[in-house]
Amino acid sequence: MSTTAASTACPAPGLDALDDPDLLASYTQWQTPAGGARIAVSQLQLTGMHCAACASIIESTLTAQAGVLSAQVNAAAERLQLRWDPARTRISTLVQAIAGAGYGAAPDAAAPAREQRERERRQALWRLFVAAFLMMQVMMLATPIYVADPGDMSADLHQLLLWGSWVLSLPVMLFSAGPFFSSAWRQLRAGHLGMDVPVSLGLLVTFVASTGATFDPGGLFAHEVYFDSLTMFVSFLLAGRFLELRARHRVAQSLEQAMSRLPDRVERLEPDGSSSQVSPQRLRAGDLVRVFAGQAFPADGRLEQGATEADEALLSGESLPVPKRVGDELVAGSMNLHAPVLLRVLRVGADTRYEGIVQLMRSALTQRPRELRMADRIAGPFLWGVLLLAGLAALAWYFVAPERAIWVAVSVLIVTCPCALSLAGPSAWLAAAGALARRGILLGRLEALETLARVDMVVLDKTGTLTEDRLVLAGSWPARPDATLLAQAAALAHHSRHPMALALAAAHPVDEAAKAQWQQVQELPGRGLQARDAQGRQWRLGSLDWLGADPALLPEAQLAFGSEDAEGGVSLMLAFDEQLRPDAAGAMQALRAQGLQTLLLSGDLPARVERVARQAGVQAARGGVSPEGKLAAVAELQAQGRCVLMVGDGINDAPVLARADASLAMGQGALVAKAQADGIVLSTRLGDVVLARELALRTRRVIRQNLGWAAAYNAACIPLALLGYLPPWAAGIGMAASSLFVILNALRLSQELGKT
């Protein structure tokens, strides 16, 4: 577990920080019992627990401390609730005591939200249990009525069974179905009809009709009871809602986990060599921070000193450690796994990728997809249609057989209760979004799944999308350069962050000593680097023009290296190229196999764009396109009736991403937060774009199946009910089967992706 490492491996950077009132307030509640002193109730997250017995060790350790009123450990959740007297002890002392017993404890600021969720979950589970358990009992009482031959059962006994069913259905109606009724009431009062209104109406009518039949068998409602269908109905609806709730909570939980990854305190190294403990909020770009093994990086930045491995599962969904060397980018919220390192802060707060991800998850959590809203929109007409139908049926039957008129109207209302209909959309969307999130594709708008299924054209950006956003060394002049010369150039390149310098440095790693041989290093923007070697000779690494190199020797050369004092001036010329993502060709082929056209739009030189397109297998390519040109090209495609999916790197392409029908951004762009895309491929695998599109197609299919099933069921049953031919058991089985079918069908979408 990652948090285990967090509190054991890091040498407790300032336990005193725990006593900081600001920090304390985030995980502590203050209570003032009548006539007593103030008591603090703190929530702590424990680590290092192996079994239930550890709980008692921690509890007894703490209760032996002065000032501790009570300590309660929840072994399953690894959480501690600590009541203590602030006048007699300090929280840092207590945490120290826990550490002395061999365990770790960290503030648990998310406790209130989690408790709230826990209450919600418990309540939902409890409602579901009541409905499901009573449903079984009602079935038990209903079975004899179904199987008994006429005359087998005395009228009294029959009546008794009905009464029993009624009593058992009462809690289901009054308690379990409560949320439907209260929500329907709210919707009615707001004048905005949602699906809960027809659902509640159906439930209410069914119950009233069955109650009438139970207590007044010869009366208005004839003698059919539907208690079994009713309770089953409520159970299925509640089960659906419970699944929805769990999915929502799981997202909230992963959000919380992500949030809690940022450390509470970090060690900042001041320019004068001293160090201080500050909270991550106080960090500014340019600060130097020491990050211990097991700690999370507090901000986006660059590795300044040391080498380690980072767990970037937050970004890619894969917890493979990523090796990090000096100069590599580090992402806030990812874990430092191996060794203490120095981090130079580049971005803080809302600009970090981490913050962008948190934002995205939040918005996905609160937004309702259009198809869900559509279900709510059709709820009104649906309700009126059903009422009209029932009214007409009653009127018609009034002339044929007046005693059956009300019964028919009621049965129409019962069979049209839109249970399956209201489950069709939500279950499928949530299952699909969950599967995508586990794969490292975050959807900001769930609607993107719908448009993704409609696209027939994929427009790709080159740099950062089809290719990796770094360069590789592709060629040199002379073709076999002198190794010491190349090492010298690479050592100089280590002093710059220019993409070409980075590529050169990556191709030839050098040690600190080699780096230090260069003195008076100067970086001249637009030209290159200038420095003196150990012998005091002036060298230059930069553009061909600056060094006066002859481009004829190597036409595609972009970088030259040489000394003014040496003969000939230029001793080395280098060419760089972009590297195609490893899965680019496969992904393009898969997109073509799905019947999509692919187009590469780039601002780069046409010849280079053509070459990359050929390598990757993109069908068409256009180079030298300005951002405005890209926008115009996409608009033109849309005017031709195309539905365009844009895949870009998020920042430069923002307007195009916003313009396209659906858009995905590769998650390596620094400012994910500002991306205008519908979704972000955090894993930066192009293959995941294909997977997302596949899943979108499957989701659409499943929703259509679900809606089709619900419609077919209604279409078949309504005429029967209108004609007065629908026996109650058939209606019950139909209802149950349709709900069950819809939920199980949707759950197929949540299977793990990429197992094809």
Partner 1 sequence: MEILYLLIPLSVVLVLLIVGVFGWAINNGQLDDLEREGGRILEDETAVVDGDQARSPQQP
Site track for partner 1 across 685-704, x = CB under 8 A? --------------------
Nearest to 145 by CA among 92, 89, 223, 45: 223
Smaller CB separation from partner 1, 130 or 491? 130
Provide the minimum distance between the beta carbon of 168 and partner 1 in the complex, in angstroms, as a whole number. Answer: 6
Smaller CB separation from partner 1, 161 or 686? 161
- 257: region left, alpha or beta (phi > 0 left; psi from -120 to 50 alpha): alpha
- For 648, the enclosing helix (H) or strand (E) is strand 644-648
How many angstroms separate the first and last alpha carbons of the chain? 30
Work out whether 632 is an interface residue with partner 1 (CB under 8 A): no
Provide the minimum distance between the beta carbon of 291 and partner 1 in the complex, in angstroms, as a whole number. Answer: 35
**Residue from 1, 34, 66, 483 that binds partner 1 (CB under 8 A)?**
66
Work out whether 472 is an interface residue with partner 1 (CB under 8 A): no
Smaller CB separation from partner 1, 49 or 331? 49
What are residue 688's phi and psi, to 5 degrees? -70, -25
**Residue from 74, 276, 281, 363 that binds partner 1 (CB under 8 A)?**
74
Q: Could you write out the DSSP letters of every residue in 149-196?
A: PTTTS-HHHHHHHHHHHHHHHHHIIIIITHHHHHHHHHHHHTT---TH
Site track for partner 1 across 89-128, x = CB under 8 A? ---------------------------------x--xx--
Work out whether 75 is an interface residue with partner 1 (CB under 8 A): yes
Smaller CB separation from partner 1, 88 or 284? 88
**Residue from 24, 62, 73, 348 that binds partner 1 (CB under 8 A)?**
73
**Residue from 99, 101, 139, 164 that binds partner 1 (CB under 8 A)?**
164
CA distance 261 to 332: 9
Running DSSP on this structure, what letter comes out for residue 389? H
Q: Which stretch binds partner 1 (CB under 8 A): 134-142, 478-486, 557-565, 571-579?
A: 134-142
Under DSSP, is residue 201 helix (H, G, I), strand (E, B) or coil?
helix
Provide the minimum distance between the beta carbon of 754 and partner 1 in the complex, in angstroms, as a whole number. Answer: 36
Q: How far is CA 48 from the centre of its chain?
A: 28
Are the C-beta atoms of residues 600 and 466 closer than 8 Å to each other? yes
Within 521-568, residue ranges assigned H as helices are 544-547
Provide the minimum distance between the beta carbon of 62 and partner 1 in the complex, in angstroms, as a whole number. Answer: 12
- For 303, the enclosing helix (H) or strand (E) is strand 300-305
CA distance 246 to 434: 11
Smaller CB separation from partner 1, 54 or 423? 54
Provide the minimum distance between the beta carbon of 67 and partner 1 in the complex, in angstroms, as a whole number. Answer: 8
Smaller CB separation from partner 1, 164 or 724? 164
Are the C-beta atoms of residues 48 and 76 closer than 8 Å to each other? no
Smaller CB separation from partner 1, 55 or 251? 55
Smaller CB separation from partner 1, 130 or 459? 130
**Single-letter code of the amino acid located at 311:** D
Provide the minimum distance between the beta carbon of 123 and partner 1 in the complex, in angstroms, as a whole number. Answer: 9
Provide the minimum distance between the beta carbon of 179 and partner 1 in the complex, in angstroms, as a whole number. Answer: 16
Helix-helix angle 353-366:227-259, to 10 degrees? 170
Provide the minimum distance between the beta carbon of 511 and partner 1 in the complex, in angstroms, as a whole number. Answer: 53
Work out whether 639 is an interface residue with partner 1 (CB under 8 A): no
Smaller CB separation from partner 1, 45 or 427? 45
Smaller CB separation from partner 1, 242 or 546? 242
**Residue from 41, 99, 167, 472 that binds partner 1 (CB under 8 A)?**
167
Distances (CA, A) of 665 to 66, 70, 228, 437: 55, 51, 50, 14
Tokens of 152: 């087998």
Enumerate residues 142-161 that contact partner 1 by CB under 8 A: 156-157, 160-161
Nearest to 609 by CA among 593, 622, 596: 622
**Residue from 91, 134, 690, 726 that binds partner 1 (CB under 8 A)?**
134
Provide the minimum distance between the beta carbon of 34 and partner 1 in the complex, in angstroms, as a whole number. Answer: 11
Provide the minimum distance between the beta carbon of 53 and partner 1 in the complex, in angstroms, as a whole number. Answer: 6
Work out whether 537 is an interface residue with partner 1 (CB under 8 A): no
Provide the minimum distance between the beta carbon of 165 and partner 1 in the complex, in angstroms, as a whole number. Answer: 9
Q: How many residues line the site for partner 1 (CB under 8 A)? A: 35
Site track for partner 1 across 319-358, x = CB under 8 A? ----------------------------------------
> What order of strands is seen across the sheet that includes strand 644-648?
441-443, 679-681, 662-666, 644-648, 457-461, 597-601, 620-622
**Residue from 29, 31, 60, 281 that binds partner 1 (CB under 8 A)?**
60
Q: Which stretch binds partner 1 (CB under 8 A): 56-64, 287-295, 441-449, 502-510?
A: 56-64
Instruction: Kindly tell me the burial class for residue 523, based on how many C-beta atoms sit within 10 Å of its own C-beta (0-12, 13-18, 19 or more).
Output: middle
CA distance 657 to 648: 7
Provide the minimum distance between the beta carbon of 124 and partner 1 in the complex, in angstroms, as a whole number. Answer: 11
**Residue from 87, 524, 566, 620 that binds partner 1 (CB under 8 A)?**
87
Provide the minimum distance between the beta carbon of 329 and partner 1 in the complex, in angstroms, as a whole number. Answer: 43
Smaller CB separation from partner 1, 66 or 320? 66
Burial track 717-756 (b if 16+ CB lie within 10 A, e otherwise): bbebbbebebebeebbebbbebbebbbebbeebbeebeee
Long-range CB contacts (within 8 A, 24+) of 394-398:
397/724
Tokens of 419: 């249970």
Provide the minimum distance between the beta carbon of 6 and partner 1 in the complex, in angstroms, as a whole number. Answer: 24
Provide the minimum distance between the beta carbon of 235 and partner 1 in the complex, in angstroms, as a whole number. Answer: 14
Smaller CB separation from partner 1, 168 or 501? 168
Work out whether 71 is an interface residue with partner 1 (CB under 8 A): no
Are the C-beta atoms of residues 161 and 144 closer than 8 Å to each other? yes
Work out whether 129 is an interface residue with partner 1 (CB under 8 A): yes
**Residue from 25, 29, 30, 63 that binds partner 1 (CB under 8 A)?**
63
Are the C-beta atoms of residues 647 and 461 closer than 8 Å to each other? yes
Enumerate residues 4-43 that contact partner 1 by CB under 8 A: 36-37, 39
Tokens of 171: 């809690």
CA distance 188 to 630: 48
Provide the minimum distance between the beta carbon of 618 and partner 1 in the complex, in angstroms, as a whole number. Answer: 56
Smaller CB separation from partner 1, 84 or 561? 84
Are the C-beta atoms of residues 400 and 331 closer than 8 Å to each other? no
Determine the length of the chain: 756
Provide the minimum distance between the beta carbon of 70 and partner 1 in the complex, in angstroms, as a whole number. Answer: 10
Could you tell me how many helices (H) and strands (E) the chain has, helices first?
A: 25, 27
For the chain, the farthest-separated pair of C-alpha atoms sits apart, in whole angstroms, at 118
**Residue from 1, 34, 53, 483 that binds partner 1 (CB under 8 A)?**
53
Work out whether 171 is an interface residue with partner 1 (CB under 8 A): yes
Q: Could you write out the DSSP letters of every residue in 63-86?
A: HTSTTEEEEEEETTTTEEEEEE-T
CA distance 637 to 644: 8
Enumerate residues 401-440 that contact partner 1 by CB under 8 A: none
Provide the minimum distance between the beta carbon of 37 and partner 1 in the complex, in angstroms, as a whole number. Answer: 5
* Chain residues in the site for partner 1 (CB under 8 A): 36-37, 39, 52-53, 55-56, 60, 63, 66, 69, 73-77, 85, 87, 122, 125-126, 129-130, 133-134, 137, 141, 156-157, 160-161, 164, 167-168, 171
